[in-house]
Amino acid sequence: MSTALVTGATAGIGLSFAHQLAERGHDVVLVARDRARLENVSDELRAKYAVATEILVADLSDRADTGKVAERLADPARPVDLLVNNAGYSLRKRFLDNEVSQEEALFDVLCRAVLVLSHAGARAMRERGHGAIVNVSSVAGFITSGTYSAEKSFVTVFTEGLAAELAGSGVTATALCPGFTHTEFHERAGVSMSGVPEFMWLDARRLVRDCLDDVAKGRVVSVPGAQYKTIVAALRVLPRALVRSRARTVHRPSQRPGRC
């Protein structure tokens, strides 16, 4: 039986990954900050799917905690076959209105942790000749909307480079780039999304299922939803000056997007 490790596993897309991987028979290592929520999810997965679970309490903005998760990924006695780097959040204010310490913490979770954990996981998987890494990025990485977009852009491009480096090794890397998704993400960020039309919203369970299908096909960038496939295709060819001007029009000082 294979083992998957999921960060940010107690809510939203990460929770959907945990459930669907357990449903497919994977043992699951659950990583998040809240022990009580981790224990609740762990108990539910064991009872519902009869799989083994393990919890790791870790704040990925803390380097020591990130190192602890990396050590688990590198442990040859307990191999991890699938790594899902999902942990993330956003800040309500614009870059210059936040304290730099807040921006550094966000960078550590969205970028540094992805780099460190991908390094540990990919090295161990390459040694065994099989495995897969999913780095949860965002459609926001194709636009210019503050540091969240910049950090998600890093995740996508980093994953593309990692996939190229792993080619022929038996290990794959996939960047999942969802759009607006029905989770608790925006509520926890304190962001009202009432103005987003319903057709723009994705279902977390379906997008995870589609992503896992893309992983099985070895696809490097997974964009769920026909609407977002169309948007991303357009953003890849539009002049960057036009993308930047649109971002200035849409994002006002009182508004901040959540995960996209």
Find, among 30, 27, 87, 80, the residue nearest to 56 by Cα: 30
Confirm whether 148 is a catalytic residue.
yes
Strands of the chain, DSSP E: 3-7, 27-32, 53-57, 82-85, 131-136, 171-176, 221-222
For residue 203, CA distances in Å to 32, 181, 206 come to 22, 6, 5
C-alpha gyration radius of the chain: 18
Residue environment code for 200-236, b if the CB has 16+ CB neighbours within 10 A, otherwise e: eebebeebbbbbbebbeeebbebbbbebbeebbeebe
Residues labelled catalytic: 148
